[in-house]
């Protein structure tokens, strides 16, 4: 992407992930104030607030842009509120970028935060037989880990992956996140520890499935012109991809009962997860070889291996070799999830895509103490959520 289509990341901030049990607004505001401090700006400077919605905290969660603005003090700024499942944060970021690139504002604050219930994610309550998310629990008992486990078993059947491979991903990420101050589980686990944890959905163990967490993350975006007046060499947003699948969606996806049929209309050139990354690379004018690091959505440790292939780090079926060679470990060719990933954080849905952007920003600035990817200049984030949502952000410096 040419420079005139870039925006700058002036500040990032997070509220630590955990199970704090407090109102999500509090996490969002802590993160927002940290991001503004990081940018050297105040609430007065913000012209636009893009909120990433939480659907589990009542009405204030559905109007996150206004909720966070009111908490910071109404001052007549404009707002947007985005819901896109796990991609909500990236879609809010995209909304802020569009405002800036359209010349409608110079400084935007993007915030996502969540407070989560204990245990499996459940569908929204009530008797709703028209809602596929309700029906998949009712008719199949298909929890989120069920889908993750189907993908994991497919890797075993298709490529000869082993349960130990998945455990090694978890062990790697635990080493990465062991000293991350924002991680909920900053603890090293060995492959043996992981394999000894209970199987939740065969072949996945408890330690390989991401938990649901409380947390908040925020990003201050600015026009490159505004940024030049405030800082030298800021991190820049080179791409935000929020593409939908292309019919027929041939990737089994939450909360669907079936894939689309590819019998009449043939499968698209790229499956959905590949297409998310491809759109980001195309927008940035970069490719997999340009990456210094990636933050990928390890809803399960097995899924991280799928992502290696989806983002083009290796051909299909070779992710286990990449892991074996240490390429994706800190110090390797292209470290993946230096933050520790969802394994060390758990998922705070509307904050998670923004947390990925926070981590890459710290990495590109050389501020990721204890987990720094040396000399990192280009980083990619990617995730996938329910109902055809996914996102990828490429940051450069």
Partner 1 sequence: MAAKTQVPAVEGWFTLDPDRPALLGSRCRSCGIVCFPREASFCRNPACTSREFDEVELSRTGTLWSFTDNRYQPPEPYVSADPFEPYAIAAVELAAEKMVVLGQLVAGTDITTLRAGQPVELVLGTLYSDDEHDYLVWKWRPVADGDPKGAAR
Peptide bond before residue 203 is cis, with ω within 30 degrees of 0:
yes
Cα separation, 65 vs 194, whole angstroms:
39
Q: Does 387 bind partner 1 (CB under 8 A)?
A: no
Complex with partner 1: residue 120 or 192, whichever CB lies closer: 120
Q: Does position 264 bind partner 1 by CB under 8 A?
A: yes
Nearer to partner 1, 45 or 131 (CB): 131
> Which member of 73, 76, 103, 129 binds partner 1 (CB under 8 A)?
129
Out of 20, 62, 137, 387, point to the residue binding partner 1 (CB under 8 A).
Answer: 137
- Judged by beta carbon, residue 76 or residue 141, the one nearer partner 1 is 141
Residue 224 is a binding residue for partner 1 (CB under 8 A): no
231: exposed, middle or buried (C-beta count within 10 Å: 0-12, 13-18, 19+)? middle
Instruction: Please return the burial class of 103, using the count of CB atoms within 10 Å of its CB with bins 0-12, 13-18 and 19+.
Output: exposed
| Residue 369 touches partner 1, criterion: CB under 8 A | no
Choosing from 5, 56, 78, 154, the residue that interacts with partner 1 (CB under 8 A) is 154
User: Site for partner 1 (CB under 8 A): which residue of 233, 265, 287, 315?
Assistant: 265
Q: Single out the residue of 55, 71, 135, 243 in contact with partner 1 (rule: CB under 8 A).
A: 135
Distances (CA, A) of 90 to 104, 216, 371, 389, 392: 19, 14, 24, 10, 7
- Minimum Å distance from CB 224 to partner 1? 36
The answer to the question of residue 270 lying near partner 1 (CB under 8 A) is: no
**217 — phi, psi (to 5°)?**
-145, 150
* 199 is a contact residue toward partner 1 (CB under 8 A): yes
Sign of CA dihedral 334, 339, 342, 344: positive
C-alpha distances in angstroms, 174 versus 139, 190, 202, 297? Answer: 36, 8, 21, 15
Part in contact with partner 1 (CB under 8 A); list of ranges 41-49, 96-104, 152-160, 350-358 = 152-160
Q: How many CA atoms lie within 13 A of 254 on its CB side?
A: 25
Among 2, 127, 229, 269, binds partner 1 (CB under 8 A): 127
Applying CB under 8 A, what is the total number of residues that bind partner 1?
Answer: 47
> Can you say how many angstroms the Cα of residue 337 is from the centroid of all Cα atoms in its chain?
11
Encoded one letter per residue, x for contact with partner 1 by CB under 8 A and - for no contact, window 202-221 reads: xxx-----------------
Q: What part of residues 100-119 is at the interface with partner 1 (CB under 8 A)?
A: 119
CB contact at 8 A, 368 and 130: no
DSSP-derived secondary structure letter, 153: H
CB of 154 to partner 1, least distance (A): 4
Residue 269 touches partner 1, criterion: CB under 8 A: no
The rounded distance, in Å, linking the Cα atoms of 122 and 261 is 28
Buried/exposed 366-397: b ≥16 CB within 10 Å, e otherwise = eebeebbbeebebbbbbbbbbebbbbbbbbbb
- Of 199, 209, 30, 222, the closest CA to residue 111 belongs to 30
Residue recorded with tokens 């901030």:
13
Q: How far is the CB of 136 from partner 1 (least distance, A)?
A: 8
Selected from 12, 149, 275, 394, the binder of partner 1 by CB under 8 A is: 149
The answer to whether 188 contacts partner 1 (rule: CB under 8 A) is no
List of residues contacting partner 1 (CB under 8 A) = 119-120, 122-123, 127, 129, 132, 134-143, 145-146, 149-154, 157-158, 198-204, 247-248, 252, 256-265
């Amino acid at each position: 992407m040419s420079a005139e289509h870039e925006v700058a990341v002036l500040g990032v901030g997070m509220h630590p992930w955990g199970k704090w049990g407090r109102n999500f607004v509090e996490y969002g505001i802590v993160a927002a104030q940290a991001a503004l401090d990081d940018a050297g700006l105040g609430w007065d400077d913000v012209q636009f607030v893009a909120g990433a919605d939480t659907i589990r905290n009542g009405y204030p969660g559905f109007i996150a842009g206004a909720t966070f603005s009111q908490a910071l003090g109404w001052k007549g700024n404009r707002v947007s509120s985005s819901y896109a499942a796990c991609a909500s944060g990236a879609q809010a970021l995209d909304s802020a970028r569009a405002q800036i690139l359209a010349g409608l504002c110079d400084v935007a604050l993007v915030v996502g935060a969540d407070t989560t219930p204990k245990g499996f994610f459940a569908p929204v309550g009530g008797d709703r037989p028209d809602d596929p998310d309700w029906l998949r629990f009712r008719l199949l008992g298909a929890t989120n880990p069920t889908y993750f486990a189907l993908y994991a078993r497919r890797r075993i059947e298709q490529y000869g992956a082993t349960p130990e491979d998945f455990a090694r991903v978890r062990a790697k990420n635990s080493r990465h996140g062991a000293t991350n101050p924002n991680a909920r589980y900053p603890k090293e686990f060995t492959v043996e520890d992981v394999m000894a944890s209970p199987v939740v959905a065969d072949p996945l163990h408890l330690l390989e499935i991401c938990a649901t967490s409380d947390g908040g993350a925020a990003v201050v975006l600015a026009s490159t012109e505004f940024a030049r007046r405030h800082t030298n060499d800021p991190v820049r947003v080179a791409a935000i991809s929020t593409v939908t699948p292309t019919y027929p969606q041939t990737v089994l996806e939450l909360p669907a009962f079936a894939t689309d049929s590819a019998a009449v209309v043939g499968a698209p050139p790229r499956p959905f997860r590949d297409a998310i990354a491809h759109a980001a690379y195309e927008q940035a004018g970069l490719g997999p070889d340009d990456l210094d690091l990636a933050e990928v959505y390890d809803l399960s440790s097995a899924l991280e291996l799928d992502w290696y292939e989806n983002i083009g780090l290796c051909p299909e079926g070779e992710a286990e070799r990449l892991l074996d060679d240490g390429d994706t470990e800190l110090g390797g060719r292209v470290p993946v999830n230096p933050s520790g990933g969802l394994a060390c954080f758990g998922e705070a849905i509307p904050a998670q895509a923004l947390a990925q952007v926070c981590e890459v920003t710290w990495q590109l600035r050389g501020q990721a103490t204890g987990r720094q990817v040396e000399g990192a200049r280009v980083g990619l984030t990617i995730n996938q959520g329910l109902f055809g949502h996914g996102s990828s952000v490429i940051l450069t410096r």
